[in-house]
A = this chain, B = another copy of it.
Amino acid sequence: MNIYQYDKSKEWFQRAVKVIPCGVYGHFSPAPYAPVEAYPFFSDKAEGARFWDVDGNEFIDYMCAYGPMVLGYHHPEVEAAFQKQISISDANTVASPRMVELAEFLCEMIPVADWAFFARNGADVTNMAVMVARAATGRDKIIAIKGGYHGTSPWMQAPGHHGTIADDHDHLFRIPWNDLEALDRILAEHGSQIAAFMASPFHHPIFEDNALPADGYWQQVVDKMHENGSVVIVDDVRAGFRLHMGGSNEHYGFKPDMIAFSKAIANGHALSALVGTDDLKVDAAKVFHTGSFWYCAGSFAAALACLNILKAEDGPARMRMLGEKLTGGLRDLASSHGYTMIVSGEPALPYLRLADDETLMLQQAWCGECTRRGAFFTSHHNWFLSTAHTEDDIEKTLQIADEAFKAVKKQFGS
């Protein structure tokens, strides 16, 4: 099996570090916790479930652009809808009918949605949700989950991160996931100040096993927050449209007051959406939140196409099936090599780690060995399936993983 080399990626990276802080920043950064020599840094070709790096190496892509790609890169029907729209109007001085059509579509498909509001980044709409909750309740404070991610606005970052200040976190309580007693304690002490509870539908931190909601957890959260006059916000930016077309909350059987979507909504075209109930519509109208490109019409057309296809083909069921095959196969394979693979979260965006690996070096080495053989895995972040992945892709990935286990066994022993 060919072991990839990344000479051209390295050349581009040398150019990049001269003119870009870090060279490649943010979640695309060559992770400080990965064997960087095993990873490509630059690509100029992506199609279906694959991308090719600038050295020409081919990868089955299990990060899907960190979520946005859900039907396969460059999906013909989504691209046709996008092209048709931008050929007549994209950026414009007045709004597009496509925005209305997309809002109507979301309100029809998503039980919680009586209205929709659109922006570009996931964090645009998680921030909007908090502003609406504050406007609606006249309260300041937010309850979120320890390790929960809602974007990189300073108040959402971990205290002490560069560029944040101590006061950024003054109005945020972080409690453990699935911990109703912790919620009760905050409500008992600060109830009258709590505007909202915000969390992802299941807990998908980095560097940590992902965790599903315990039986009845969400319904109790909703009941307690409503009793307290507070708002429930689901941040479905990462998981949205991979578990259920009506919002991931439907997969778990509960109804929040607002849901934030982005990533998979338009198969890679930049768009985010906040949907909510009628009770919050007037407050949402009063909050001023806007951006230069939030009315660009191409992404609305792409979203209509993407969501229609996902719905018609039951994309969430397909991604669950593929994810189960992949994670089940990897678990069996690990076992056959004398390792234990811990699989957590949801099959459509699973989190995997090798057990008995306190330094994390085993997991990192194994992901690197898979990547340099053509199955792109990151070490400590959930992966993503798409409907474009095939059972053959999974089969090929398991063969790669088999070789990778042999390689790490040689390096680490069993």
User: Assembly of this chain: how many copies?
Assistant: 2
- What's the minimum C-beta distance from A117 to chain B, rounded to whole angstroms? 6
Within 8 Å of chain B (Cβ to Cβ): is A96? yes
Residues of B within 8 A of A257 (CB): none
- What's the minimum C-beta distance from A78 to chain B, rounded to whole angstroms? 11
Within 8 Å of chain B (Cβ to Cβ): is A283? yes
Q: Which of A124-132, A173-181, A317-325, A352-360 contacts B (4 or more CB under 8 A)?
A: A124-132
A87 CA to B80 CA in the complex, in Å? 12
A45 contacts B153, CB within 8 Å?
A: no
A162 contacts B28, CB within 8 Å?
A: no
Residues of B within 8 A of A268 (CB): 90-91, 293, 296
Q: Which of A100-108, A342-350, A395-403 contacts B (4 or more CB under 8 A)?
A: A100-108
Interface residues of A (CB under 8 A from B): 12, 15-16, 18-22, 24-28, 39-46, 51, 53-54, 59, 61, 63-69, 73-74, 79, 86-100, 103-104, 106-107, 114-117, 120-124, 127, 130-132, 134-135, 140, 151-154, 157, 161-165, 167, 170-171, 237, 262-263, 267-270, 281-297, 376
B270 contacts A20, CB within 8 Å?
A: no
B165 contacts A140, CB within 8 Å?
A: yes
A65 CA to B88 CA in the complex, in Å? 14
Residues of B within 8 A of A122 (CB): 291-292
B100 contacts A283, CB within 8 Å?
A: no
B120 contacts A93, CB within 8 Å?
A: no
B93 contacts A66, CB within 8 Å?
A: yes
B20, B161, B167, B263: the one contacting A167 at CB < 8 Å is B167
A53 CA to B282 CA in the complex, in Å? 27
B28 contacts A95, CB within 8 Å?
A: yes
A276 CA to B130 CA in the complex, in Å? 31
Listed residue (A68, A88, A122, A293) with the most chain B CB atoms within 10 angstroms of its CB:
A293
A161 contacts B51, CB within 8 Å?
A: no
A64 CA to B92 CA in the complex, in Å? 7
A283 CA to B22 CA in the complex, in Å? 10
- What's the minimum C-beta distance from A242 to chain B, rounded to whole angstroms? 14
Residues of B within 8 A of A284 (CB): 21
A94 contacts B41, CB within 8 Å?
A: yes
A287 CA to B21 CA in the complex, in Å? 10
**A290 touching B26 in the complex, CB below 8 Å, given contacts A15-B104, A120-B120, A270-B296:** yes
Residue of B nearest to A9 (CB): B94
Q: A90-B269, A167-B171 are in contact. List 12 more A-B contacts (CB 8 A).
A: A18-B104, A21-B115, A25-B290, A43-B95, A46-B90, A74-B87, A91-B267, A131-B163, A134-B165, A140-B167, A268-B296, A269-B296
A151 CA to B58 CA in the complex, in Å? 41
B65, B154, B171: the one contacting A93 at CB < 8 Å is B65
Residues of B within 8 A of A98 (CB): 44
A41 contacts B167, CB within 8 Å?
A: no
Residues of B within 8 A of A103 (CB): 16, 19-20
- What's the minimum C-beta distance from A129 to chain B, rounded to whole angstroms? 10
Residues of B within 8 A of A130 (CB): 163
Residues of B within 8 A of A281 (CB): 21
A43 contacts B93, CB within 8 Å?
A: yes
B63, B64, B116: the one contacting A20 at CB < 8 Å is B116
Residue of B nearest to A82 (CB): B86
- What's the minimum C-beta distance from A204 to chain B, rounded to whole angstroms? 14
A26 contacts B294, CB within 8 Å?
A: yes
- What's the minimum C-beta distance from A38 to chain B, rounded to whole angstroms? 13
B121 contacts A288, CB within 8 Å?
A: no
A271 CA to B258 CA in the complex, in Å? 27
Residues of B within 8 A of A134 (CB): 163-165
**A91 touching B115 in the complex, CB below 8 Å, given contacts A100-B15, A163-B132:** no
A20 CA to B290 CA in the complex, in Å? 14
